[in-house]
Structure 1
Amino acid sequence: MSDDTNASPPADEPGFAGFDPAPVAVPVAMSAASPYRVLARKYRPAHFGDLIGQDAMVRTLTNAFAAGRIPQAWMLTGVRGVGKTTTARILARALNYQTPDGGGGPTTDLREFGIHCKEIIEGRHIDVQEIDAASNNGVDNIRQINDAVRYAPVSARYKVYIVDEVHMLSTGAFNAFLKTLEEPPPHARFIFATTEIRKVPVTVLSRCQRFDLRRIDTGVMLPYLANICRQEGIEADDEALAAVARAGEGSARDCLSILDQAIAHAAGPITLDEVRTMLGLADRARVIDLFEAVMKGDIAAALGELRAQYDAGADPSVVLGDLAEFTHLVTRLKLVPDAVKDNSLAQAERVRGGDFAQRLSIRVLARTWQMLLKGLAEVKQADRPIMAAEMVLVRLAHAADLPTPDEALKMLRDGSGSVGGGQGMPSAPRPPSGGGNTALAARPILASANPMPEMAAAPRAQAQAAVMVASLEDVVALASQHRDITLKLALERDVRPVRFEQGRIEFALGSSASRTVATDLSRRLKEWTGQTWMVAVVNAEGGATLREQAEAVKGRRESDAASHPAVKAVLERFPGARIVDVRDPRAAEADTPATPALENEYLPDGEPLFDDSEPDFDGIDF
């Protein structure tokens, strides 16, 4: 065991417990016999109250211990640094908790140290064996465990085997473990930890209780880091700690390692600039400026800003990663406006990100995201990353000047303008076509309100006003108007409506229907209305087809007519007579039918709804 472990503070010192809310003064000078311990080890949690970000697991374990439902094996999985090995040691301590007077039992209330606790936490208890499966992954190693597990513990209540990185065991070793793991002696417990849960055989997983340790949220990590800084007597800005938390990506150990490095780098108060310099990060505000230049299609400003950040020490791949992160943030703010309340966001991200979210479309943001993902891979593989990053920005700025595919199709159909920038890069701001730069090119985004989105939306609004589609009958009328007889007949005969709303149609198909009806209808609606419609065939019963509805209306009219006393008298007087058609003379005179005839209202002249050979008459056939 190393000297730094022997130099651990005693159990009654608050600093040993890890995340203790009360600040503890740390001596400035350290003796030669007490080498420095990194923060990740010095503030390692010692009981369940110290664990942060794992509330679901702590609650489950607390209830299980209180009810006496303690399994023979646990499987802990999660990314690096979220507390798998630490949780395993705390579990071993909970299983073997014993007070100095010999009392106590398995419990999760570990605020007071028992007679075995300090040795277990320090990893030197004789009955708690920690095994590194990366270097002990053979059948012989597991055979030694199988032989030793039969003997009773020396001093503790349970023999506990902690197997770290268990996925590294060989197939033979896993198979050798199965019998012991399924039916261990009553005094033995197993705790496994792994970062690659998919590599663990299901035969092992089925014998364990599995807990997935989550990444620690930034909002939880910030007070944790601030508390440690207070205990260490270090001044740190909140924005600097937020940058450390983001760089740690949800790993407590990574965050503490970065904080340790930042303390040494700053040699005084930790500021955001110090953290950025240390990690090679770009200023968040400058990343947003770069994003704005790209979205405006101002390639000269974008390349100049990238080169300035590179000269200041920023890694090109980190800059593109920050751009992708900000693109994701803008997309979230557009779809979930309440996300602006996230405490981990800087003021510039809240204000300017929200403004971008109002001005940029989802299509532009999605296109930017995809291009940045591809560009990141190129930059990481390139011999000259800065050149590759500049070419990525050129593509982004050029794409920002292009219309979206549907707008390009409309422009080509209407002949309203050429697609693209002609020479590939805009020489001056142009009227908007829905692309990214057109939403931002006229003036800086925070300077004043931008009327461009309303101008871009005007043609769509006119198209919507010109063609109103509120029901399936309106769609059939459109098909009849454009002389698409095949689609019209399919809509009348085969479509059973399930759901109809603006921009979306869902229906079921008859057994004899063509399977391309949904695709054909979506394409035609796009042509006729200028809008994109989602047309889907669903597995549902659906309503009656238009033909069935028309037949039902016709049947009701004939039934009502047949029940009239005058009609009854006529039918009795003339045997064999039948009702051919029933019409309302008052509606005919007013030229506004009180009950629209579904079979005729959306058909042009000369195109009957049914293939009937019967002639139409204005009255009753005698």
Structure 2
Amino acid sequence: MSYVVLARKYRPKNFAEMVGQEHVVQALGNALATQRLHHAYLFTGTRGVGKTTVSRILAKSLNCVGPDGQGGITAEPCGVCQACRDIDAGRFVDYTELDAASNRSVDEVQALLEQAVYKPVQGRFKVFMIDEVHMLTNTAFNAMLKTLEEPPEYLKFVLATTDPQKVPVTVLSRCLQFNLRPMAPDTVLEHLTRVLAAEEVPAEVAALRLLARAARGSMRDALSLTDQAIAFGNGQLQEATVRQMLGAVDSGHVWALIEALATGDGQTVVQTVDTLRFNGFSAVAALDDMTGALQRMAVVQAVPSLATATDPEQTEIARLAALLPPDATQLLYSLCLHGRAELGLAPDEYAGLTMVLLRLLAFRPPGVAGSATPPAPEKKTLNIESMVPVAPALTPAPAVQPAPARMATLAAAPPVVSAVAPAAWAPVPAPVVASPPFAAAPVPVASAPVVPSAPVPDAAARTADASGAADDGAERWYALVASLVQAGAITALVRELALQSQWVAAQGDTWYLRVAAESLMQPSTRDGLQKALQQAGHAVRLQLEQGPVSDSQARRQVAAGQARQRAAEDAAAQDPLVQALLRDFGGKMVPGSIQSV
């Protein structure tokens, strides 16, 4: 007798043998028991989850006559009567299977429907099963609509598809739809254990776990891979041989990669990738296994009670979960998931794998060991009390240029929050580069007072002169920023640093600014702004601190734009013609349709 593959030998013969589709079995079983039978069924789901199998079991349930030939419609077909045996063998004349992938035209469908006018020859019902029904043409679908909606009482339709989105809604509305779910790895593992026990094939649990994961929810794929693994292992299923057959990465390499990423050890990452290349392990499989491990780590971090004690890898998963904070785990998972699609674009998949893993190191969240994010600049605490107030001084400009229009003059003082004597801009030489005048005052905006980083005296002791100097210094800074931006002297991140910074104070030739975004505090960005200021005639050093910003040139620009927008909307609302249209024709102002120019 010829060998029968496991996927066919262990195909379920009744609903009790169905695995992982309890929701479908329960619905069909109750319908058969109460004989509340629909005339058309649609089974959807990925490959190998049992769509055709359910169709055949349903046909047997409808036509089973029992061992004594006296039975009726049942949810438990006997499997021994002539109808059951013929349906299992594929020779029951009243059960017709049509493969729509290769018989998709209207002619094939019409030939099938021509048989609908004849009553069953052997059984109780005729059953037309159309597999991959979404492959039918539009004309073929239209040809079957009328019969599908009102078939003879002895005719049942069973449709199956892996892509229900392509089935017309006119067909969907005529069918009872059941979605067969992909099977969980644990469900596949249990079934493989029973099958191999019946086959008397020795198997390691770790090997079966690899096969269950590789099946990706398809029981047919799991049994086919098991057949291949039995042949590859010469009648035995061992973890090493199954891993070699599947090209799966040794879990030790996965743990090593995740641990190296957690500790920022780039050398171990590169060496491990070289080991994968040498052993011929798939780069795609490496990322898949890492993604699975990171997902399990995230579960342990979020809900420790859901950890599976029977999983032999759970101890390693818990250890690695303790090495990474949850946000870093989520970041690594996302980058591994998206990096898998990039491997096909790389000239060498192992080079692509290396780049994905190194990217994980480069984008590590701040505060994680080995993070590539540079430390924030040291914050300087200002001794505000030691700053001697100096009256704002303007450097005379050449006669051809109005002195007030040059950005050589800048006076500054700490924010107006206390009785602190304001520091001031020191006199500076005239600018050496031409820039547009910034004599026009910036658009004033209301801003909350900024608390400096150093302790300050009681606000009641503040003098009017100190307040005026502080306001003047801030206004001159924002005017200088606007002038630099307008002149194109600063671009990219340097421009953003200038726009997003808030003036704090000046002490000697050091200017103190506050920014909210840590990404703008890079030394290179600060040096770029400092160089632009020096080229504009301000020989100063910039000192940055991170903190909340309540006033900046960017905020002023936004406020000015909002003010212009409100003015434009008010002007439109007060226009006599607009008011007449609203009054006479029942019109309304569409929000967002008015823009200031």
The one of 204, 212, 223 equivalent to 2:179 is 212
1:83 and 1:269 mapped to 2: Cα distance? 27
What's the TM-score once normalised by structure 2's chain length?
0.62
User: Contact between 1:297 and 1:398, CA under 8 Å: does it hold in 2?
Assistant: no
Indicate the SS of the match to 2:210: helix
Deviation at 1:39, TM superposition (A): 0.7
The aligned counterpart of 1:357 is 321
The aligned counterpart of 1:127 is 94
Indicate the SS of the match to 2:160: strand
The aligned counterpart of 1:310 is 277
What value does the CA root-mean-square deviation take over the aligned residues?
2.5
1:286 and 1:188 mapped to 2: Cα distance? 57
The aligned counterpart of 1:393 is 357
Q: Deviations over 1:489-547 (max 9, x none)?
A: xxxxxxxxxxxxxxxxxxxxxxxxxxxxxxxxxx99x9669xxxxxxxxxxxxxxxxxx
Which letter maps to 2:334?
Q
What's the TM-score once normalised by structure 1's chain length?
0.59
Deviation at 1:310, TM superposition (A): 2.3
User: Contact between 2:327 and 2:365, CA under 8 Å: does it hold in 1?
Assistant: no
Which runs of 5 or more structure 2 residues have no equivalent in the other structure?
A: 381-446, 452-515, 518-545, 550-597
1:101 and 1:322 mapped to 2: Cα distance? 54
Deviation at 1:383, TM superposition (A): 3.0
The aligned counterpart of 1:540 is none
2:268 and 2:374 mapped to 1: Cα distance? 31
The aligned counterpart of 1:139 is 106
**Residue 348 of structure 2 is aligned to residue 384 of structure 1:** yes
Which letter maps to 2:186?
G
Indicate the SS of the match to 1:341: coil
Q: Deviations over 1:393-418 (max 9, x none)?
A: 222223337558xx9999648649xx
Q: Deviations over 1:433-454 (max 9, x none)?
A: xxxxxxxxxxxxxxxxxxxxxx
Mark the CA change 1:342 to 1:202 in structure 2 (over 3 Å): closer, same or farther: farther
Deviation at 1:204, TM superposition (A): 0.6
2:128 and 2:309 mapped to 1: Cα distance? 41
Q: Deviations over 1:197-253 (max 9, x none)?
A: 111111111111111111112222222111111121110011111111011111100
The aligned counterpart of 2:438 is none
Output aligned runs, 1:296-375, within 5 Å.
296-341=263-308, 343=310, 345=311, 347-348=312-313, 350-375=314-339
2:547 and 2:88 mapped to 1: Cα distance? 70
1:139 and 1:153 mapped to 2: Cα distance? 24
2:63 and 2:204 mapped to 1: Cα distance? 42
User: Contact between 2:364 and 2:373, CA under 8 Å: does it hold in 1?
Assistant: no
Mark the CA change 1:157 to 1:111 in structure 2 (over 3 Å): closer, same or farther: closer
The aligned counterpart of 2:502 is none
- Percent identity of the aligned residues? 37
Deviation at 1:302, TM superposition (A): 1.0
Which letter maps to 2:292?
E
**Residue 81 of structure 2 is aligned to residue 114 of structure 1:** yes
Indicate the SS of the match to 1:207: coil
1:138 and 1:108 mapped to 2: Cα distance? 35
Deviation at 1:382, TM superposition (A): 2.5
The aligned counterpart of 1:601 is none
Deviation at 1:353, TM superposition (A): 1.6
Which letter maps to 2:126?
K
**Residue 148 of structure 2 is aligned to residue 184 of structure 1:** no
User: Contact between 2:261 and 2:360, CA under 8 Å: does it hold in 1?
Assistant: yes
Which runs of 5 or more structure 1 residues have no equivalent in the other structure?
A: 1-33, 417-478, 484-522, 530-622
Output aligned runs, 1:587-602, within 5 Å.
none
User: Contact between 1:44 and 1:86, CA under 8 Å: does it hold in 2?
Assistant: yes
Mark the CA change 1:342 to 1:156 in structure 2 (over 3 Å): closer, same or farther: farther
1:93 and 1:113 mapped to 2: Cα distance? 11
2:88 and 2:121 mapped to 1: Cα distance? 18
Q: Deviations over 1:432-489 (max 9, x none)?
A: xxxxxxxxxxxxxxxxxxxxxxxxxxxxxxxxxxxxxxxxxxxxxxx98869xxxxxx
1:293 and 1:323 mapped to 2: Cα distance? 12
Which letter maps to 1:381?
L
1:48 and 1:58 mapped to 2: Cα distance? 6
2:240 and 2:164 mapped to 1: Cα distance? 39
Which letter maps to 2:249?
A
Q: Deviations over 1:281-302 (max 9, x none)?
A: 1111221111111221111111
The aligned counterpart of 1:200 is 167
Indicate the SS of the match to 1:400: coil
User: Contact between 2:362 and 2:372, CA under 8 Å: does it hold in 1?
Assistant: no
The aligned counterpart of 1:242 is 209
User: Contact between 2:248 and 2:282, CA under 8 Å: does it hold in 1?
Assistant: yes
Which letter maps to 2:290?
L
Which letter maps to 1:75?
L
2:210 and 2:297 mapped to 1: Cα distance? 19
User: Contact between 2:203 and 2:237, CA under 8 Å: does it hold in 1?
Assistant: yes
The aligned counterpart of 1:166 is 133
1:196 and 1:39 mapped to 2: Cα distance? 26
Aligned length: 389
Which letter maps to 1:35?
S
2:119 and 2:63 mapped to 1: Cα distance? 13
Q: Deviations over 1:318-354 (max 9, x none)?
A: 11121122111211211121231264x3x23x11222
Indicate the SS of the match to 2:90: coil
2:347 and 2:68 mapped to 1: Cα distance? 67
Deviation at 1:111, TM superposition (A): 4.4
2:105 and 2:10 mapped to 1: Cα distance? 34
Q: Deviations over 1:130-163 (max 9, x none)?
A: 0000111111112122221011011110000010
